[in-house]
Chain A
Amino acid sequence: MTRAGKNSRGVVERSLASFVDALEHAFYAEELAKKNGLLQKLDPRVKIVAILPLIVIAALARRLWVIAVLFALAVAIALLSSVPLGTLARRVWLGVLTFTGFISFPALFLTPGPAISSLPLLGWTVTAQGLRAAIYLIMRAETAATFSVLLVLCTPWSNVLKALRVLRLPVVLVVVLGMTYRYIFLLLRNAHDMFTSRKSRIVGRLDGPEQRRAATASVGVLMSKTIQLSGDVYLAMRSRGFQGEVYVLDEFRTNWFDWAMLALFITVAFLAFWFGR
């Protein structure tokens, strides 16, 4: 078997794994959104209005202790919302640390300033300013990402989309996003079934060009099915009275708890903004 063949097979298998992972992740998120925690109790619109400023302030704050307090607040909210810290560590903190660590690594050595250490063997010197810049970048990214993920994990995606209307997004855009979310799973499942079905009928291994031809054909079939589906969905909408303008229900209702929590979050955001200037 050629090296190209091995690589192509790896791509197909990785694609399959990522399809399944995407589905499992979506199921897990919806299970978390049903739990009886702090964020889950809040009106989705309140959650968006309360958490978005915290994300922005975490990204802009100039004092490390303010970012650290915001990060601690995010962890506390996660615990009060029944979000396992292990899940956050695996899905957010580790990934963000790897990504931002990779980006900020050169800054450790290239930022001018007094040297505080040096790498063994290579002899590259780490500067105080470089270390400070890297820590800022990582902490800001970790905190902002934690708040963002909490918002998504503790709210059914459909409600997140509807709540975006509070930010004056047009109804048609919210509906299109909702339908995209709805059908992406169907298409993922179709793609998964197609790959599995082909894999079950292949004896031996295909070489690189054969793999690429098969993958291209699958993409073509999937595209064709998608076009057919979109036409059928339009007919189903038309059948129930759709004439080009969508009317939707806005079923959210706020109570005193929502307003109290909104006031608390806004106060925290204001204090973080004030002390983090």
Chain B
Amino acid sequence: MDSTNWMDRRFETGARYLARLTSRRSFLTRLGTLLVGAASIPLLPMSRAAAQAADAGFREPDIDGDAGDPMNCNYWRYCSIDGFMSPCCGGSASSCPPGTEMSAVTWIGTCQNPADGNDYLISYNDCCGKSPCGQCFCNNNEDDMPVYVTGRSNNINWCLAHSTTAYHSTVALVLGRADG
């Protein structure tokens, strides 16, 4: 079975599944980087807040092959994050702040990295054991589903299966390529 047929089958199973592959929101911001000057992007009629978020956009990659700023809610890995970004709380996109523990149980989605155009598997583990960080709340929801689809919901405190369920912040681990 070749990849075109696979895509067709995915399309048949629903628009949302296709959306997972075409990554709507990152497409918008990717479009932005191709044009000269973020402010000149003709933005679609969304809220002012979203427009500001899109304008904040991508900066030049400052880590080789890892485009964007992990302190910015538009960082490519955060396409489906819901929580306080770990780098703002003393951790990094890949590590928890000091004194907190990374939950093993979590949910895993995919995001597209504009630096190479590839999709990657992203694990949104929560950092547990302290009161909420309170800084840099970031909520993007690509592929996010309601709570009854528990394995794909970012509205769940994923510290719930950890030894301490107090939620502090969230990381976004890159597990591997998401191309099958």
> Are A and B physically bound partners?
no
